[in-house]
Amino acid sequence: MAKGIIEIGDSSFDSEVLQAEKPVLVDFWAPWCGPCRAIAPMVEELAEAFGDTVKFTKCNVDENPVTPTKYGIKSIPTLIFFKDGKVLDKIVGIVAKSRLQEMITNT
């Protein structure tokens, strides 16, 4: 796991994401997912750039099926931006790094 990115699961989701004091980006992924591996370096760069103001997390959908089901995740990668326990934005699939930055800075 890259520096500044926290691995979360079904048991830690509420405390790490919904009760977090700062906004949280959750990257729903799986190790076998090519697009997930492709977007990971962009998420890591954003974690370095915005890590002081945003918490960055990853949730392996294979190991943690409850949370992805709860949020209607049907394909990965899916990135959801939370603030104060609420979903503010959601991105499915690979997008440009600028779109990820936009999600963080505009919400």
Any idea which residues carry the catalytic annotation? 33, 36
Which tokens in the block code for residue 92?
């499915």
Pairing label, strands 24-29, 5-8 = unpaired
Backbone angles phi, psi at 57, to 5 degrees: -135, 160
Closest CA to 33 of 3, 68, 81: 68
Show the tokens assigned to 19. Answer: 């009760």
Q: How far apart are CA 10 and CA 94, in angstroms?
A: 24
Give the distance, in angstroms, between the CA of residue 78 and the centroid of all CA atoms in the same chain: 7
